[in-house]
Amino acid sequence: MTSVTIGVLAVQGDVREHLAALRSAGADTRAVRRPAELEQVDGLVVPGGESTTIDRLCRVFGLHEPIRARIAGGMPVYGSCAGMIQLADEILDGHREQQTFGGIDMTVRRNAFGRQVDSFEADLHLSGLRDPQRPVRAVFIRAPWVERVGDGVEVLAATDGHPVAVRQGGLLATSFHPEVTGDHRVHEIFVQMVHAQRR
């Protein structure tokens, strides 16, 4: 199988962990901080971190519109935690000037599970995984949840009645952090999505 190059948006958040997980899942990787670097990747990961900071820095570095354009052009993107917020068409409890890349027809509530002290872990069964009977250990840190999904959005996992992993076309989002657990099956799904887009 021809290799694919997947970038990790490297303005803030769990960049190193995602790069390692993607390499383990069989992708070539690179950090993306500039529009020229974005042009060199087949897919992109938007990591966890602080969504308002990621939004602000992407606009400062001239990345916001190029990322939106690549999404509109069909580039696969995976967002975890803050990255899920960035892929939502609508956010609740966002800052007044906060913008998202959009792409997934969903409404996401920021910090829905509570503050940093309310962080927790849970075992989830997630559709589409290799070895699907083995649950994913999901780490939620100031995590969002999904309050509404459109007709074209597939819910892959939910907890407390709220979707926490979704997919729409070439876009994948989780409210938890699979990059910190050593279980790279979520990243494997995304690498497969990028390969599928290349065919």
Question: Which active-site residues does the annotation give?
Answer: 81, 177, 179
Report the Cα–Cα distance between both ends of the chain, in Å, rounded. 11
Closest CA to 164 of 191, 125, 198: 125
Q: How many CB atoms lie within 10 A of CB 169?
A: 15
* DSSP 8-state assignment for residue 116: G
Run of H or E including 172: strand 171-174
H-type alpha helices, the chain: 15-24, 35-38, 51-60, 64-72, 82-87, 185-198
Alpha-carbon distance of 51 to 35, in angstroms, equals 19
Q: Which tokens hold the place of 92? A: 């609740």
Residue 119, CA distances (Å) to 81, 125, 141, 177 in order: 12, 19, 5, 11
